[in-house]
Chain A
Amino acid sequence: MEEQAGGLFLFVAVALVFAQIVLRVVFNIGISGVYELATFSATFSVLLTASLGVKRNTHVRVDILRNLLSRRGALVLETVVQVLMLTVSLALLYSGWLLVDESLLFGDHTTGTIEIPMWAPQLIMPIAGALLTLRTLQRILSLIRTPDAVLQSPTPGAVD
């Protein structure tokens, strides 16, 4: 799901910037705020897809220590890393939630023709935190159930 959404938002961002060029060059129209919408869209794409990297274990990691360890050691290490990631994900969820709350209170919006209240795009932060938490939990679960399969999952960096 977040995969499709991530791709879609990337497409929307490209389309918005393209539309801005066409409006300016062909119709001599400038609308401030289109850039903001495009960057919001690209940011959504990045943050929604981040959890997918956890699910597929494709985020860039350093594997020195793991390569030195036995199977048992690698399992312990992977558990430690997953718990660490769970902590970061939960912290992001909390921090993102506070950010949205803060923006609701602060009431600021983007300047220019299109005024977007900041809390709206910032909702992506707690959503991303929640998705990351979910995916990390899933990985921990499968680490418990099928440790060997998880340990042999794709090399870091590889995209499916």
Chain B
Amino acid sequence: QEIVFKLAHEAPATAIKGRTADLFAELVAKYTDGSVKIEVYPGGQLVPTVEEIRAAARGQVDIIAPYTSYYSSIDPLWDIFYQPMLFSSPKQAMEVFSGEIGQKLLANLESRRLKGLAIWHDGPVYTFTTDKPATTPDVLSGMKVRVAPSKPLESMLSKAGAAPISMPATEVYLALQQGTVDGVVTTPTYAAPARWGEVLKTMTRALWGVGGYGVAMNAKSFASMSAEQQEGFLRAMKEATEWNQAQTLENIAKSESMLKESGMTIVDLTDEQKAAWMPLAEAVWAEQSDDIKAMIDTIRQ
């Protein structure tokens, strides 16, 4: 008898998450001889994004892959993704979350009736502006910057003297166009397909965090599979995750060239500019819980 699982996520089917999810569905069918079927619902069409984690815990949907920041609402440890200036490159971040730290975050979900499956990657979190590039805190000072709710990122903006503005994603395009906000903190992989490149001028590649997705499943749904099916299922997840990692860097490069084509200036920090940001970042780290501080220390070594 065929088992059907609902996989709900909010990204467009064409985005890297959408493609990884579709590949995963294909692989599950292949490795379970069609005995497990994954129905993918992209674009947040099934449940509102803010509801995803709870809907999976409840069993209303079976598999979810929300932005890691959404997990902060049940486990503050997930804030580790958004510690400014902590990771040296998107590639290093991928290695970190493939290792012990990633496993710990996923294992913690068990207390919420969820089985953590994998961490999929998206892109680096950079600062974008409609005017001068945010190379130093001085430039950002006095600006209004849209950011998805995240304690460490909001704290970083405040420390630079900028006002962190929260605003629904659908309003950001207009807000940038009309000057309601002067910039955004997001990933190039989100900004490019959302066409924010049309209304933004600069991207500063200071690594404020890494965007990623926590893939999790209703624990009961997972247990409803036979041992054989579970094995095929997990194998599919492993391969889909590997594909995701292999694609991530390429996808970032593609998004950046898309932004460049729409006229965006891409700026890297000089060592001097980086030094100007470090005290602010360290102050943000100091505000974190002891558990996160321990993680920060591990990552820095």
Q: How far is the CA of A109 from the CA of B53 in the complex (A)?
A: 12
- Near B by CB (< 8 A), chain A positions 92-122 give 102-103, 106-113, 118
Q: Of the listed stretches A29-37, A65-73, A74-82, A137-145, name the one at the interface; the rest are far from the partner chain.
A: A29-37
Please tell me if the beta carbons of A111 and B150 are within 8 angstroms of each other in the complex. Answer: yes
Please tell me if the beta carbons of A30 and B69 are within 8 angstroms of each other in the complex. Answer: no
Please tell me if the beta carbons of A28 and B142 are within 8 angstroms of each other in the complex. Answer: yes
B163 interface residue, CB < 8 Å from A?
A: yes
| Chain A residues, Cβ within 8 Å of B142 | 28
Contact of A32 among B70, B74, B144, B166 (CB under 8 A): B166
Q: How far is the CA of A106 from the CA of B114 in the complex (A)?
A: 11
Given known pairs A106-B57, A108-B53, A108-B74, the reply for A113 and B165 (CB within 8 Å) is no
Interface size class of A (residues with CB under 8 A): 10 to 19
Please tell me if the beta carbons of B165 and A30 are within 8 angstroms of each other in the complex. Answer: yes
| Closest-CB distance, A106 to chain B (whole angstroms) | 6
| Closest-CB distance, A98 to chain B (whole angstroms) | 10
Main secondary structure of the interface of B (DSSP, over half): mixed
Interface 0/1 of B41-65, CB less than 8 Å to A: 0000000000001100110000000
Interface 0/1 of B148-178, CB less than 8 Å to A: 0111001000000001111100000000000
| Highest count of chain A CB atoms <10 Å: which of B72, B74, B150, B165 | B165
Main secondary structure of the interface of A (DSSP, over half): loop
Q: How far is the CA of A24 from the CA of B182 in the complex (A)?
A: 12
Interface 0/1 of B121-148, CB less than 8 Å to A: 0000000000000000000001010010
Please tell me if the beta carbons of A113 and B73 are within 8 angstroms of each other in the complex. Answer: no
Q: How far is the CA of A23 from the CA of B72 in the complex (A)?
A: 26
| Chain A residues, Cβ within 8 Å of B6 | none
Please tell me if the beta carbons of B74 and A107 are within 8 angstroms of each other in the complex. Answer: yes
Q: How far is the CA of A107 from the CA of B165 in the complex (A)?
A: 26
Given known pairs A32-B154, A111-B149, A112-B149, the reply for A106 and B112 (CB within 8 Å) is yes
Q: How far is the CA of A29 from the CA of B151 in the complex (A)?
A: 15
Please tell me if the beta carbons of A112 and B151 are within 8 angstroms of each other in the complex. Answer: yes
| Chain A residues, Cβ within 8 Å of B112 | 106
Please tell me if the beta carbons of A106 and B74 are within 8 angstroms of each other in the complex. Answer: yes
| Chain B residues, Cβ within 8 Å of A108 | 53-54, 73-74
| Closest-CB distance, A123 to chain B (whole angstroms) | 16
Least CB separation from A27: chain B residue: B163
Please tell me if the beta carbons of B166 and A33 are within 8 angstroms of each other in the complex. Answer: yes
| Chain B residues, Cβ within 8 Å of A110 | 73, 149
Least CB separation from A111: chain B residue: B149
| Chain A residues, Cβ within 8 Å of B154 | 30, 32, 112-113
Please tell me if the beta carbons of A111 and B54 are within 8 angstroms of each other in the complex. Answer: no
| Chain B residues, Cβ within 8 Å of A33 | 149, 166
| Highest count of chain B CB atoms <10 Å: which of A28, A29, A103 | A28
A: residues with CB less than 8 A from B are 24, 28-30, 32-35, 102-103, 106-113, 118
Known contacts A106-B112, A108-B53, A113-B151; 8 additional CB pairs below 8 A are A24-B144, A28-B142, A32-B149, A35-B167, A102-B58, A111-B70, A111-B150, A111-B151
